[in-house]
Amino acid sequence: MPFDMPIDLRRAARPIAVASALLAALCIAPSAVAAPPAAGAASTAPTAAAVATVPGMPPVVDPANLYSEAGAGRLSPAVAGALQRVYVPNLRSNDVYVIDPATFKVVDKFPVGRSPQHIVPSWDLKTLWVTNNAEGRTDGSLTPIDPKTGKPGPAVKVDDPYNMYFTPDGKEAIVVAEAHARLDFRDPHTMALKSSLQVPGCKGINHADFSIDGTYAIFTCEFGGRLAKIDMVNRKVLGYLDLDKHGMPQDIRISPDGSVFYVADMMADGVFVIDGASFTKVGFIKTGVGTHGLYPSRDGSKLYVANRGTNKVHGARHGKGSVAVIDFATRKVVATWPIPGGGSPDMGNVSVDGKTLWLSGRFDDVVYAIDTTTGAVRQIRVGMEPHGMTVWPQPGRYSLGHTGNMR
């Protein structure tokens, strides 16, 4: 894919917080003493040093496993009363399908804005936002969903919301305006614009994850074959890192101990390993054709890698889709689960109990429910071109955005 491919060619089929008293307690000490590693955590090394986080960011309870508070069943009081549902945005039918995970049946569907890309849990876990970026148009919007009813509210007009994240302190939403290579910092509730940051060297800016201490974020630049590192304290671009001249980086996730980031590249058919502090490439793991979405297991020991089955932006049905499982400790693939009959696993997340990986079948108009023990796959028919679906509720104290980057 050429470096200077225009953004608008890409999208026709494109791809806790806790109750208030507990939240106050969580935020008082950036250098709080770390708890012992939880059973099943990714590291068995001696207790790591406590992490000094940015002001307002909840403390890192286990520095050896920053996913410890998003472990199986660790639901926040903030999600009490939320319906157990799977929400699926369908890019080409401009609607959201709602699945009951207990029955694997579609139980509702409703129209949203044009080109819904992702469904993003808010930092405080009280709202699910549908990012309708209206590809090639100017009428982008965000549709709020109430998790207690599963119903949408009035849409909020927002320019080009391809994806959305939240600052680690929860004070601002970060709307990823992909077509404009821009990050818009907005009020996390009203979505009123507060400031913007241009990232001109990041064509196709779309996915991100944050450092263990919240001081910086790394964004993927899909049409530039590179990454952008953003200083979250001073709100400036720190630099760019080229991955591959013909690469197309997609999702990105930090390791449990915060030392490296894993970057899916759909042209390289694997995952680059990036040292976040030095911002350098330190490894590459081959995973499968069209590497796309990345999701940590609930115990923080594995990384589920969705391989979309094609290197093309507009893929055919029944591609060479699969899920690879990377062991965080060894950085090796320990299992590969092909989609029976072929498929296009894209994005999603993991169930509350960690037993099911839910992924959209981007080019097959289905959702996959994958058993995380056996790799067995169930398929559910949904709308046209499902994309960044989410599972709700999910364990964790707060959401950093996307389909549920929980910590």
What pLDDT was estimated at residue 29?
A: 34
Bridge partners for 205 per DSSP? 221
What pLDDT was estimated at residue 90?
A: 98
What pLDDT was estimated at residue 48?
A: 75
Closest residue by Cα to residue 225 from 246, 206, 240, 208: 246
What are the sequence ranges of the domains in the chain? 7-392
What pLDDT was estimated at residue 49?
A: 86
Cα distance between residue 370 and residue 75, in whole Å: 22
Q: What is the pLDDT of residues 247-279, one digit of tens each?
A: 999 999 999 999 999 999 999 999 999 999 999
What pLDDT was estimated at residue 245?
A: 84
Whether residue 325 contacts residue 336, with contact meaning beta carbons closer than 8 Å, is answered with: yes
Say which residues have a Cβ less than 8 Å from residue 353's Cβ, sequence separation at least 6. 72, 73, 298
The CA-atom distances, in angstroms, between 246 and each of 1, 208, 274 are 5, 20, 18
Whether residue 267 contacts residue 246, with contact meaning beta carbons closer than 8 Å, is answered with: yes
3-state SS string for the chain: CCCCCCHHHCCCCCCCCCCHHHHHHHCCCCCCCCCCCCCCCCCCCCCCCCCCCCCCCCCCCCCCCCCHHHCCCCCCHHHCCCCCEEEEEECCCCEEEEEECCCCEEEEEEECCCCEEEEEECCCCCCEEEEECCCCCCCCEEEEEECCCCEECCCEECCCCCEEEECCCCCCEEEEEHHHCEEEEECCCCCCEEEEEECCCCCCEEEEEECCCCCEEEEEECCCCEEEEEECCCCEEEEEEECCCCCCEEEEEECCCCCEEEEEECCCCEEEEEECCCCEEEEEEECCCCEEEEEECCCCCEEEEEECCCCCCCCCCCCECEEEEEECCCCEEEEEEECCCCECEEEEEECCCCCEEEEEECCCCEEEEEECCCCCEEEEECCCCECECEEECCCCCCECECCCCEC
The CATH architecture one would assign to domain 7-392 is: 7 Propeller (2.130)
Q: For the chain, which ranges sit under pLDDT 70?
A: 1-47
Q: Is the pTM of this model over 0.85?
A: yes
What pLDDT was estimated at residue 46?
A: 52
Q: What is the pLDDT of residues 168-194, one digit of tens each?
A: 999 999 999 999 999 999 999 999 999
What pLDDT was estimated at residue 261?
A: 99
Backbone angles phi, psi at 23, to 5 degrees: -60, -40
